[in-house]
Amino acid sequence: MTDEGKIKRTSYRVTRIEISKLKGISNLDYSFGESLITAILGVNGCGKSTILHALACVFRPSESASKDYNKLSDFLKSNPDADWNGSHFKIHYDFKEQDLRKKPLTAPEPKTGSQIYSKSSQSWAPKYYRRPTHESTYIGLQNLQTGADNPGSYRYRNYETSELALEAAELIKSDMIYVLGRHYDRLNHHIVSGGGKGDIKTIIWGLESGGVRYSELSMGSGEKRVLSILSALHHISFKNGGLLLIDELDALLHRASFNRLIEVFIKRSSESRYPLQVAFTTHRETISKFLDQINICSILATEERTVALPYIDPDVMMQLTGGACKPIEIYVEDELSEEIISNFVFGINASKYVHIEKFGVASNAFGLVAGKILLKHDISSTICVLDGDVFLTEGERDSEIKRHLGGDDREYQRILALKCIKSYRLKNTPPPGGRGAPEYNQKILFESSKASSQQIERLQHFSRQILSLEDWHGYYDELARLSNVRRCRDYILEHLSVTDDWDYCLGEIKEWLTNRLVDHGFTSHHENSQASPEKVGIHVAAFQGSI
């Protein structure tokens, strides 16, 4: 409420964070995507946790004067080496506003707002009571200790047990069962009291499974952490939305439980009538499984600034932060493209000079090149090869690179980045709505080419029987099934590699690589692009043996 309770503001949703300076972060600007769930990745020390700490202190709770881990002084304690003066960040948010003075009452109106948080001299601004009112909960690594690890846990050994009667208890229990893959009969709470008059009572969690009852003093650390996270997610304070922040979500969780917990976040936020945002940090690359369902932001610390790469696959971040092992780098979308480029590189005897790596979906190419530029890597011998089915126009590519290298001052960097984006040339594309353009193109080229052997002619016969597929990425699997030739893709790619159509398809990549080999003083043996008689004999024998 504001204006003495006459203006009601609800449904806050953080949309953007700008950090000028906060601990090791400088000049970071990140806009949250459409999803209410956000994963923040990056190497140790890049500032992931600091972003969560800033978000944890944006709002104040509605039902209490203060709470733990809700003030900047909880995370940034002054000490002889750091007083945190000069810290400055800005939060942007959406919310709904309703004027309670209007009669009759009108529906809440969508609004936008922002708030600056800073520290100079002795205190943080704005004052705590001036911050927007909205529920938020921070779960860090401070409570990972189990009873076995905590020498002071003996104080809680005497407690009274009762079944948890909260409305959310059944939801917490069912999610525990799903996430951990273990059946639980009841969710309990235990009241601990020293027995003296006026003693403060402590409530700790308890579970029952298979007839065995135990408290959190006896829980495993992973089990306790999942229970803490789910109890916060389903807490009544989030009935009108809120912000749940979790540092190192993957800590103590195996892959299956980690993935299921994220699925629970997605489900819970979609069911809430009000915006329930969840943001967490993680090192788990398998988060890429959820690339289309949640926001994934990778944090990159460069000499100039801290960069948020909001559209980049975690696997690409691993490539950015690793060192190059060969002087020439070619990045490709998938396994098929990797095989095509590998065959060509091998054919010109350049394998020892060229490193080939997959980057995933096409948009990752732009994030990968942008990251290398921001890290001041030499990109003169690096390209990303697109499959040729998306980002076909200069306008589309320009718009995509601006998502990673925005601002008028980065025009030259964008030009450099776009020079690193190459593409196959596809003569044939699937019918409207069809997916898998590279495979479809290869099918048509293969069927229209002159058969070089009876075996190739036989494969062409079966290929022509494949008239339509919902997704042409499955072309080679279907051909292998019909022909009973498991390695049909290998033989088709080898057959196509000596055709003029294949030269056209790979033309842009071949020209670039030939020039780079010359620049580096390497000699490519183009005569090897035709398979030797011995190599052909081996392939034919293998082919005949697979029929």
Largest CA distance in the chain: 95
Phi first, then psi, for residue 123 (nearest 5°) are: -135, 160
**CA 13/CA 45 separation, integer angstroms:** 27
Residues 6+ apart with CB under 8 A from 177: 183, 184
**CA 166/CA 146 separation, integer angstroms:** 24
C-alpha angle 319-324-325 in degrees, rounded to nearest 5: 125
Q: What is the DSSP code (8-state) at residue 6?
A: T
What one-letter code names the amino acid at 48? K
Tokens of 402: 């601006």
**CA 476/CA 493 separation, integer angstroms:** 11
- Mapping DSSP onto H, E and C, the string for 224-236 reads HHHHHHHHHHCCH
What are the pLDDT tens digits along the chain (547 aa)? 555 568 889 999 999 999 999 999 999 999 998 999 999 998 889 999 999 999 999 999 887 666 788 999 999 988 888 899 999 999 999 999 998 888 888 889 999 999 999 998 778 999 988 999 999 999 998 777 665 566 555 555 555 555 555 678 889 999 999 999 999 998 887 777 654 444 555 667 788 898 898 888 778 889 999 999 999 999 888 988 999 999 999 998 999 999 999 999 999 999 988 999 999 999 888 888 898 899 999 898 888 889 888 766 676 777 777 666 789 999 999 999 999 999 999 999 999 999 999 988 898 899 899 989 988 899 999 999 999 999 999 999 999 999 888 888 899 999 999 999 999 999 999 988 788 999 999 999 999 999 999 999 999 999 999 999 989 999 999 999 999 999 999 999 999 999 999 999 999 999 999 999 999 998 655 544 444 433 333 333 333 333 3
CA-based nearest residue to 312, from 200, 405, 198, 174: 405
Instruction: Decide if 322 contacts 314 (C-beta within 8 A).
Output: no
Tokens of 378: 């030499």
Q: How many Cβ atoms are within 10 Å of 359's Cβ, its own excluded?
A: 25
- Tell me the pLDDT tens digit for each residue of 99-127: 888 888 888 999 999 999 999 877 899 99
**CA 318/CA 324 separation, integer angstroms:** 11
> C-alpha distances in angstroms, 135 versus 63, 64, 235?
9, 10, 11
pLDDT at residue 236 in the model: 87
Domain ranges of the chain: 7-143+239-300, 154-219, 313-424, 437-504+530-546
Q: How many Cβ atoms are within 10 Å of 300's Cβ, its own excluded?
A: 24
- DSSP for 313-334 reads -HHHHHHHHSPPSSSEEEEESS
Long-range Cβ contacts of 434-437 (<8 Å, 24+ apart): 434/469, 434/470, 434/471, 434/472, 435/470, 435/471, 435/472, 435/473, 436/469, 436/471, 436/472, 436/473, 436/474, 436/475, 437/387, 437/388, 437/389, 437/472
Tokens of 334: 């998938």
Tokens of 349: 């005897």
- Tell me the pLDDT tens digit for each residue of 480-499: 999 999 999 999 999 999 99
Strand-pair partners of 204: 190
Q: What number does CATH give the domain 7-143+239-300?
A: 3.40.50.300
Buried b (16+ CB within 10 A) or exposed e, 376-386: eeebebbbbbb
> C-alpha distances in angstroms, 324 versus 318, 355, 537?
11, 8, 36
> C-alpha distances in angstroms, 243 versus 147, 240, 263?
29, 11, 17
C-alpha angle 416-388-417 in degrees, rounded to nearest 5: 10
**CA 207/CA 288 separation, integer angstroms:** 33
Instruction: Please state whether the peptide bond connecting residue 430 to the residue before it is cis, i.e. omega within 30 degrees of 0.
Output: no
Tokens of 379: 């990109």
Instruction: Please state whether the peptide bond connecting residue 104 to the residue before it is cis, i.e. omega within 30 degrees of 0.
Output: yes
- Based on its alpha-carbon atoms, the radius of gyration of the chain, rounded to whole angstroms, reads 29
Torsion of CA 439, 445, 451, 456, to 10 degrees: 0
